[in-house]
Structure 1
Amino acid sequence: MSASKRRAAWIPYAGLLVLFWGVWGAFSSLPTSKYGYPDPMVYVIWSITMLIPAYFSLRGRKIDRRPIAAVYGLLIGLTGAGGQLVLFKALTIGPAYIIFPIVALSPAITVLMAFAALRERLTALSWIGVGLALVAIVLFSVSSGDSQETGGTYLWLAIGVCVAWGVQAYFMRKAAVVGVNDATTFGWMTVSGLLLIPVALIMMGGLPLSFPWQAPALTAITQLLNAVGALFLVMAMSRGKATIVAPITNALAPVLTIVLSLIVFRTLPSGFQVAGIVLALVGSSLMVYSTEKSGEEPAAAPAREAAS
């Protein structure tokens, strides 16, 4: 394979990731809105579908059996799975075109945690991204009063997901510093998702039995898009530079979700919401680019680990 083809090998996987996650985001609330399917049951089905990409991710790869790998793996997995559990609830009461831009601001949490805990020096792009994220949250808060009952609720749930996934990304970086490979991390993410199934069942009071077969079938289809998209992310990141792959996928998947949501559900956001969406995506992309660029500097990781 030529050098140019190797450099472009990540593009098909990144494109599939954007397609799968974009479509999943736009239609993931359908089982609940159309059939009244409980959002904890959506989580249960998602956690099971994660077994499919986990199989392909782990096949032929060496599992890191060190205790530190298990600790970081569980921290990464539980924050990620917990975020999913909250996300499915948020999507039952709020619009996807607002929720996903808020969730995309999770790099702000990662950046601020690295600044506080690891004493990392933040670049100007990182600070600009954090500033835009804060302005975006304010704009979303101003515009969330359109529903007395759910306007504030889905906003806070989305912020909760943002925090959980920002913490998850922080621990991913810590795991990478100590040499935990991606396959091991993905495996623990899958295990953690399955571990929270009892929590989802308790939230429902048991397995629901009075729903048409279309509800779990539609849930399985949409959540399979979510799970396989995660596999495409791993494949894209292993074949391309993080400074290119991460910002593109972080920004374009929510954009596709927003476009599809607006077209299919024929809902127009307010002026404040449009401004918030734009600032959230731009700020998130700046933070992701800055974070991944610093992570590719050879001496950066050891220096940060020694400082912590």
Structure 2
Amino acid sequence: MTSRDNKQTWILYAGLLVLFWGVWGAFSSQPTERYGYPDEMIYVIWAFTMLVPAAVALRRERFDRRPIAALYGLAAGLTGAGGQLLLFQALSDGPAYLIFPVVSLSPVITVLMAVALLRERIGKLAVIGVIAALIAIVLISIPAGAGGSVSTGSWLLLAVLICVAWGAQAFFMRKAALAGVNDATTFGWMTISGLLLVPVAVLMMGGLPDAPWQAPALTAGTQILNAVGALFLVMALSRGKASVVAPITNALAPVLTIVLSLMVYQTLPTVWATIGIVLALGGSTLMVYADEKREEIPEALEPSTPAADS
């Protein structure tokens, strides 16, 4: 696949990611709300649902057995899955209305790493779009009724670590693509990473819970959306700039979740979330427009970058 094709198709996969993660976000809380299903058990089921898109992807592409593929694949998987387990611990120690805005800044880490280490260049319009998207992510992450004083503690350190881990995860996905690792291999290693941490999740909740069959069934139904969305993230990052893909997807997926929640649960967004929606849509539009304008620049004038093996 040519560089030009990559630039054109990252938008498609980013859009599919937003669709799957947006729908998943709207219904992901149902197992806990309906049956009191533990978050750690939701993680366990999510790890196993990753096997489905991994199997489909590996039917189309061979598994890359090079050490560099394992290095970047495991790095992406462990930072993502490890961050999820840290989030459970943080939420048990601190307030969600402070933790989620901190964690939501993870695209900042991705952008900084992409610009500094991958030498990605983004124009002025794209920079404005990135800033708007990042502000939107934080505003959307502020829950309704947030307020009150709270003391800092271990939860703040954990929130910062999660932010760094999830920001680095997107960087490692992009780095794997630039090293010529195909999407299926990267996602395969991410699946292995998630399964490796399943025993940790079981230990965190003190054993398997006693729950009706509807709880794991509903969890599997929602988490398969999460797993497929993760595959689309890998595919988008192998074709587009990490400094653009990460802010766009992290901003637009919650927007779709809010819209679906409004339609299904008739839950109105907060004032902050409404402002965030406007910024997310505006910032994402600017970034896509800037990328398309860059596409019009003759390739002879473009700086050479390693081609992704898609």
TM-score range, shorter chain: 0.7 to 0.9
Q: Secondary structure at the match of 1:207?
A: coil
CA distance in 2, matches of 1:159, 1:265: 32
Deviation at 1:68, TM superposition (A): 1.3
CA distance in 2, matches of 1:15, 1:176: 19
Aligned match of 1:206: 207
Which structure has greater helix proportion? 1
Q: 2:24 aligned with 1:24, yes or no?
A: yes
CA distance in 2, matches of 1:188, 1:253: 24
Aligned match of 2:33: 33
CA distance in 1, matches of 2:166, 2:198: 19
CA distance in 1, matches of 2:60, 2:77: 21
Structure 2 unaligned blocks of 5 or more: 1-7
Structure 1 unaligned blocks of 5 or more: 1-7, 304-308
CA distance in 1, matches of 2:89, 2:285: 26
Q: 2:46 aligned with 1:46, yes or no?
A: yes
CA distance in 2, matches of 1:141, 1:24: 16
* Distance change in 2, residues 1:34/1:300 (3 Å): farther
Q: TM-score, normalised by structure 2?
A: 0.72
CA distance in 2, matches of 1:149, 1:72: 41
* Distance change in 2, residues 1:269/1:140 (3 Å): same
Aligned match of 1:80: 80
Aligned match of 1:301: 305
Aligned match of 2:3: none
CA distance in 2, matches of 1:185, 1:293: 30
Aligned match of 1:62: 62
Aligned match of 1:71: 71
Correspondences of 1:143-182 after superposition (within 5 Å): 146=146, 148=148, 163-182=164-183
Once the two structures are superposed, residues 46-98 of structure 1 have per-residue CA deviations (whole angstroms, 9 ceiling, x without a partner) of 00011011101111422221111111111111122234445678999869xx9
CA distance in 1, matches of 2:91, 2:289: 28
CA distance in 1, matches of 2:66, 2:240: 26
Residue type at the aligned position of 2:268? L
CA distance in 2, matches of 1:293, 1:56: 34
CA distance in 2, matches of 1:123, 1:166: 21
Deviation at 1:227, TM superposition (A): 1.8
* Distance change in 2, residues 1:302/1:17 (3 Å): closer
* Distance change in 2, residues 1:232/1:170 (3 Å): closer
CA distance in 1, matches of 2:18, 2:141: 27
CA distance in 1, matches of 2:70, 2:128: 35
CA distance in 1, matches of 2:106, 2:113: 11
Correspondences of 1:278-293 after superposition (within 5 Å): 278-283=278-283, 286=286
Q: TM-score, normalised by structure 1?
A: 0.72
* Distance change in 2, residues 1:254/1:34 (3 Å): same
CA distance in 2, matches of 1:222, 1:82: 20
Deviation at 1:284, TM superposition (A): 5.4
Q: How many residues align?
A: 289
CA distance in 2, matches of 1:63, 1:123: 36
Aligned match of 1:184: 185
Deviation at 1:199, TM superposition (A): 1.6
Deviation at 1:118, TM superposition (A): 4.1
Residue type at the aligned position of 1:264? V
